[in-house]
Protein backbone atom coordinates (compact mmCIF):
# COMPACT_ATOMS: atom_id res chain seq x y z
CA UNK A 1 0.00 0.00 0.00
CA UNK A 2 1.13 3.55 -0.71
CA UNK A 3 2.15 5.51 2.39
CA UNK A 4 1.56 9.28 2.36
CA UNK A 5 3.46 11.29 4.98
CA UNK A 6 2.49 14.94 5.46
CA UNK A 7 5.92 16.58 5.70
CA UNK A 8 5.48 20.22 4.76
CA UNK A 9 4.26 22.17 7.79
CA UNK A 10 6.10 24.99 9.54
CA UNK A 11 6.26 23.29 12.95
CA UNK A 12 5.94 26.60 14.79
CA UNK A 13 5.43 25.04 18.23
CA UNK A 14 8.94 23.61 18.14
CA UNK A 15 10.66 26.57 16.51
CA UNK A 16 13.86 25.88 18.48
CA UNK A 17 14.56 23.36 15.70
CA UNK A 18 12.24 24.29 12.83
CA UNK A 19 13.76 27.71 12.32
CA UNK A 20 16.63 25.73 10.77
CA UNK A 21 15.16 22.41 9.57
CA UNK A 22 11.67 21.09 8.77
CA UNK A 23 9.96 19.25 11.62
CA UNK A 24 10.24 15.73 10.08
CA UNK A 25 14.03 16.17 10.04
CA UNK A 26 14.32 16.65 13.82
CA UNK A 27 16.65 13.90 14.94
CA UNK A 28 15.78 11.27 17.52
CA UNK A 29 18.61 8.93 18.41
CA UNK A 30 20.77 10.33 15.62
CA UNK A 31 18.32 10.09 12.71
CA UNK A 32 15.30 12.12 11.53
CA UNK A 33 11.94 11.21 13.02
CA UNK A 34 10.55 10.76 9.51
CA UNK A 35 12.98 7.89 9.02
CA UNK A 36 11.75 6.28 12.26
CA UNK A 37 8.19 6.61 10.92
CA UNK A 38 9.15 5.02 7.61
CA UNK A 39 10.81 2.15 9.47
CA UNK A 40 7.52 1.50 11.32
CA UNK A 41 5.70 1.10 8.01
CA UNK A 42 8.55 -0.85 6.43
CA UNK A 43 8.52 -3.32 9.34
CA UNK A 44 4.96 -4.17 8.34
CA UNK A 45 5.80 -4.49 4.65
CA UNK A 46 4.81 -1.02 3.38
CA UNK A 47 7.74 0.58 1.58
CA UNK A 48 6.28 2.86 -1.10
CA UNK A 49 6.42 6.37 0.41
CA UNK A 50 4.99 9.66 -0.84
CA UNK A 51 6.33 12.64 1.10
CA UNK A 52 4.12 15.74 0.78
CA UNK A 53 6.78 18.44 1.09
CA UNK A 54 6.55 22.19 1.66
CA UNK A 55 8.57 24.16 4.21
CA UNK A 56 12.34 23.69 3.70
CA UNK A 57 11.65 20.80 1.31
CA UNK A 58 15.18 20.96 -0.05
CA UNK A 59 16.58 19.67 3.27
CA UNK A 60 14.44 16.53 3.14
CA UNK A 61 15.27 16.03 -0.54
CA UNK A 62 18.98 16.42 0.06
CA UNK A 63 18.93 13.96 2.97
CA UNK A 64 17.40 11.14 0.93
CA UNK A 65 19.34 12.01 -2.24
CA UNK A 66 22.59 11.59 -0.29
CA UNK A 67 21.30 8.78 1.93
CA UNK A 68 23.67 6.07 0.73
CA UNK A 69 26.79 8.22 1.04
CA UNK A 70 25.75 9.75 4.36
CA UNK A 71 25.14 6.34 5.91
CA UNK A 72 28.17 4.49 4.55
CA UNK A 73 31.95 4.65 4.53
CA UNK A 74 33.23 5.28 1.02
CA UNK A 75 36.21 5.75 -1.24
CA UNK A 76 36.26 8.45 -3.93
CA UNK A 77 38.63 8.77 -6.86
CA UNK A 78 39.30 12.46 -7.37
CA UNK A 79 40.61 11.66 -10.83
CA UNK A 80 37.52 9.91 -12.19
CA UNK A 81 34.86 10.86 -9.62
CA UNK A 82 34.14 7.15 -9.06
CA UNK A 83 32.77 6.30 -5.63
CA UNK A 84 32.87 2.92 -3.90
CA UNK A 85 30.98 2.42 -0.65
CA UNK A 86 31.82 0.20 2.32
CA UNK A 87 29.52 -0.97 5.13
CA UNK A 88 26.70 0.07 2.86
CA UNK A 89 23.31 0.90 4.38
CA UNK A 90 20.63 -0.13 1.91
CA UNK A 91 16.87 -0.05 2.29
CA UNK A 92 14.43 -1.39 -0.27
CA UNK A 93 12.21 1.68 -0.09
CA UNK A 94 10.75 3.75 -2.90
CA UNK A 95 10.53 7.38 -1.82
CA UNK A 96 8.59 9.94 -3.86
CA UNK A 97 9.50 13.48 -2.77
CA UNK A 98 6.79 15.84 -3.97
CA UNK A 99 6.53 19.58 -3.41
CA UNK A 100 2.97 20.48 -2.37
CA UNK A 101 3.48 24.20 -1.69
CA UNK A 102 4.95 26.25 1.13
CA UNK A 103 1.65 27.58 2.49
CA UNK A 104 -0.59 24.63 1.59
CA UNK A 105 -2.61 23.17 4.47
CA UNK A 106 -2.85 19.46 5.34
CA UNK A 107 -5.94 18.73 3.24
CA UNK A 108 -4.54 20.69 0.32
CA UNK A 109 -1.29 18.71 0.46
CA UNK A 110 -3.18 15.45 0.28
CA UNK A 111 -5.34 16.77 -2.58
CA UNK A 112 -2.19 17.61 -4.56
CA UNK A 113 -1.18 13.94 -4.39
CA UNK A 114 -4.40 12.74 -6.02
CA UNK A 115 -2.72 11.77 -9.29
CA UNK A 116 -0.11 9.73 -7.39
CA UNK A 117 -2.67 7.93 -5.25
CA UNK A 118 -4.95 7.12 -8.21
CA UNK A 119 -7.79 4.81 -7.14
CA UNK A 120 -5.91 2.89 -4.46
CA UNK A 121 -6.63 2.53 -0.77
CA UNK A 122 -3.71 4.30 0.92
CA UNK A 123 -2.07 4.92 4.29
CA UNK A 124 -1.60 8.43 5.67
CA UNK A 125 0.22 9.88 8.65
CA UNK A 126 1.98 13.00 9.88
CA UNK A 127 5.75 13.44 9.95
CA UNK A 128 6.11 13.80 13.71
CA UNK A 129 4.89 10.72 15.66
CA UNK A 130 6.11 7.20 16.41
CA UNK A 131 4.14 4.25 17.73
CA UNK A 132 4.20 0.50 18.35
CA UNK A 133 0.99 0.21 16.34
CA UNK A 134 0.60 -2.90 14.15
CA UNK A 135 -0.15 -1.24 10.81
CA UNK A 136 -1.48 -4.44 9.26
CA UNK A 137 -4.00 -4.92 12.07
CA UNK A 138 -5.35 -1.45 11.29
CA UNK A 139 -5.61 -2.34 7.59
CA UNK A 140 -7.44 -5.59 8.41
CA UNK A 141 -9.82 -3.66 10.70
CA UNK A 142 -10.40 -1.11 7.92
CA UNK A 143 -11.30 -3.76 5.36
CA UNK A 144 -13.69 -5.45 7.80
CA UNK A 145 -15.77 -2.36 8.63
CA UNK A 146 -15.98 -1.20 5.00
CA UNK A 147 -16.13 2.54 5.73
CA UNK A 148 -14.16 5.26 3.94
CA UNK A 149 -11.62 6.13 6.65
CA UNK A 150 -9.97 4.53 9.64
CA UNK A 151 -8.21 6.84 12.08
CA UNK A 152 -6.06 5.58 14.92
CA UNK A 153 -7.29 6.80 18.30
CA UNK A 154 -4.71 7.15 21.09
CA UNK A 155 -4.70 8.56 24.63
CA UNK A 156 -1.94 11.16 25.15
CA UNK A 157 -2.55 14.60 26.76
CA UNK A 158 -5.66 16.34 25.40
CA UNK A 159 -4.21 18.77 22.88
CA UNK A 160 -5.04 17.09 19.58
CA UNK A 161 -8.23 16.26 17.64
CA UNK A 162 -10.64 14.44 19.98
CA UNK A 163 -12.81 11.59 18.72
CA UNK A 164 -16.34 10.88 20.02
CA UNK A 165 -16.94 7.18 19.36
CA UNK A 166 -20.08 5.02 19.55
CA UNK A 167 -20.33 1.31 20.44
CA UNK A 168 -19.43 0.25 16.90
CA UNK A 169 -16.24 2.38 16.98
CA UNK A 170 -17.85 4.74 14.47
CA UNK A 171 -16.65 8.32 14.91
CA UNK A 172 -19.74 10.44 15.46
CA UNK A 173 -17.86 13.67 16.14
CA UNK A 174 -14.39 14.95 15.25
CA UNK A 175 -13.16 18.03 17.12
CA UNK A 176 -9.71 19.55 16.74
CA UNK A 177 -7.79 20.53 19.90
CA UNK A 178 -10.56 20.21 22.53
CA UNK A 179 -10.36 21.25 26.17
CA UNK A 180 -11.50 17.85 27.48
CA UNK A 181 -9.41 14.69 27.60
CA UNK A 182 -10.18 11.42 25.79
CA UNK A 183 -9.32 9.52 22.65
CA UNK A 184 -7.48 11.76 20.21
CA UNK A 185 -6.39 11.69 16.59
CA UNK A 186 -3.07 9.85 16.56
CA UNK A 187 -2.78 9.91 12.77
CA UNK A 188 -1.93 6.59 11.08
CA UNK A 189 -4.99 6.57 8.81
CA UNK A 190 -6.21 4.04 6.25
CA UNK A 191 -8.20 5.86 3.58
CA UNK A 192 -10.24 5.01 0.51
CA UNK A 193 -9.52 7.22 -2.52
CA UNK A 194 -13.12 8.54 -2.57
CA UNK A 195 -12.20 10.70 0.41
CA UNK A 196 -10.14 12.92 -1.90
CA UNK A 197 -13.47 14.31 -3.14
CA UNK A 198 -13.96 15.82 0.33
CA UNK A 199 -10.91 18.03 -0.26
CA UNK A 200 -10.75 21.21 -2.30
CA UNK A 201 -8.17 24.01 -2.53
CA UNK A 202 -4.75 24.45 -0.89
CA UNK A 203 -6.30 26.15 2.14
CA UNK A 204 -8.25 22.99 3.01
CA UNK A 205 -7.42 21.71 6.50
CA UNK A 206 -7.72 17.93 6.70
CA UNK A 207 -8.69 17.97 10.38
CA UNK A 208 -11.52 20.47 9.91
CA UNK A 209 -14.37 20.07 7.40
CA UNK A 210 -13.11 16.97 5.53
CA UNK A 211 -12.82 14.71 8.58
CA UNK A 212 -15.71 16.41 10.37
CA UNK A 213 -17.95 15.77 7.35
CA UNK A 214 -16.73 12.18 7.05
CA UNK A 215 -17.70 11.67 10.71
CA UNK A 216 -21.15 13.19 10.10
CA UNK A 217 -21.62 10.78 7.19
CA UNK A 218 -20.65 7.80 9.41
CA UNK A 219 -17.66 7.13 7.17
CA UNK A 220 -14.98 7.60 9.83
CA UNK A 221 -14.16 4.71 12.18
CA UNK A 222 -11.53 4.58 14.94
CA UNK A 223 -9.01 1.84 15.58
CA UNK A 224 -8.32 2.28 19.30
CA UNK A 225 -4.67 1.85 20.24
CA UNK A 226 -3.79 1.60 23.94
CA UNK A 227 -0.10 1.04 23.24
CA UNK A 228 2.80 3.43 22.76
CA UNK A 229 2.35 6.65 20.78
CA UNK A 230 4.46 9.77 21.05
CA UNK A 231 4.81 12.87 18.88
CA UNK A 232 7.29 15.75 18.89
CA UNK A 233 4.98 18.72 19.11
CA UNK A 234 7.27 20.54 21.57
CA UNK A 235 10.90 20.46 22.68
CA UNK A 236 9.80 18.57 25.78
CA UNK A 237 8.30 15.85 23.57
CA UNK A 238 11.55 15.62 21.64
CA UNK A 239 13.59 15.35 24.84
CA UNK A 240 11.28 12.59 26.15
CA UNK A 241 11.84 10.51 23.02
CA UNK A 242 15.59 11.03 23.29
CA UNK A 243 15.48 9.69 26.86
CA UNK A 244 13.59 6.61 25.65
CA UNK A 245 16.27 5.96 23.02
CA UNK A 246 19.13 6.54 25.48
CA UNK A 247 17.65 4.15 28.04
CA UNK A 248 17.53 1.36 25.42
CA UNK A 249 13.77 1.13 25.87
CA UNK A 250 12.75 2.04 22.32
CA UNK A 251 9.12 1.05 21.93
CA UNK A 252 8.43 1.52 18.24
Bigger pLDDT: 220 vs 69: 220
pLDDT single digits (tens) 68-104? 888 889 999 999 989 888 877 789 999 999 999 999 9
pLDDT single digits (tens) 101-160? 999 999 999 999 999 999 999 999 999 999 999 999 999 999 999 999 999 999 875 455
Contact 12, 18 (CB under 8 A): yes
What is residue 103's three-state secondary structure?
coil
What is residue 157's three-state secondary structure?
coil
The pLDDT of residue 89 is 75
Q: What is the pTM of this model?
A: 0.89
Which stretches of the chain are DSSP H helices? 15-18, 33-43, 57-65, 67-70, 106-112, 114-117, 135-145, 209-216, 235-246
The pLDDT of residue 150 is 98
- Position 161 pLDDT exceeds 80: no
The pLDDT of residue 23 is 98
Question: Which is it for strands 229-231 and 220-224: parallel, antiparallel or unpaired?
Answer: unpaired
Question: Which is it for strands 122-126 and 129-131: parallel, antiparallel or unpaired?
Answer: unpaired
Average pLDDT over residues 152-177: 75
Most confident of 78-82, 110-114, 164-168, 242-246: 110-114
Give Cα separations from 169 to 47, 77, 144 (angstroms).
Answer: 29, 60, 12
Q: What is the mean pLDDT of the chain?
A: 92
Amino acid sequence: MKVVILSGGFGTRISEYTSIIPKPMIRIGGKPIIEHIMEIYSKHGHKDFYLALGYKSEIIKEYFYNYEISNSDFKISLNTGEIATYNQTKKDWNIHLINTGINTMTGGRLKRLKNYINNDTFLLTYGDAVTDLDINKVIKFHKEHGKMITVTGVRPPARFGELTINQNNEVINFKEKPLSQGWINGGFFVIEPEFLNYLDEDSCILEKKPLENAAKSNELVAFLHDGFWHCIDTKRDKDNLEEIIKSDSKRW
